[in-house]
Amino acid sequence: MVDRTALPIRRRRHARPQELLDAALSLFIEKGFAAARADEIAARAGVSKGTLYLYFHSKEDLLQELIAQRFSSKIAISFHVATDARASLDMLREVVATWRSALIEGDAGGIVKLLFTEARNFPVLADFWMREVITPTRLLVSKIVKHGIERAEFRAVAPNSVVDALVLPLIAACLQRHAINPHASSDGTPCGHDDLNSCFELVLEGLMDRPAERTPTPTRMTA
Q: Which residues bind DNA (CB under 7 A)?
A: 1, 9-10, 12-14, 16, 36-39, 42, 47-54, 57-60
Among 40, 57, 126, 147, binds a copy of itself (CB under 8 A): 126
State the binding partner of 150 from a copy of itself, DNA, none, CB within 5 to 8 A by kind: a copy of itself
CB of 184 to DNA, least distance (A): 25
- Applying CB under 8 A, among 17, 102, 118, 144 the residue interacting with a copy of itself is 118
Q: Which partner from the list a copy of itself, DNA, none does 210 bind, CB cut-off 5 to 8 Å by kind? A: a copy of itself
Which element (helix H / strand E) includes 62?
helix 59-65
Cα 52 from Cα 42, distance rounded (Å): 6
Judged by CB under 8 A, the residue of 209, 213, 215, 217 near a copy of itself is 209
> At CB < 8 A and 24+ separation, what contacts does 92-100 make?
92/141, 92/144, 92/145, 92/148, 92/162, 92/166, 92/204, 92/207, 93/200, 93/204, 93/218, 95/140, 95/141, 95/144, 95/166, 96/166, 96/170, 96/200, 99/137, 99/167, 99/170, 100/170, 100/193, 100/196
Cβ 124 to DNA shortest distance, Å: 16
**x/- binding map, residues 1-40, to a copy of itself, per CB under 8 A?**
-----------------------------xxxxxx-----
176 lies in the site for a copy of itself, by CB under 8 A? yes
CA atoms within 13 A on the CB side of 219: 9
Asked if 136 touches a copy of itself (CB under 8 A), the answer is no
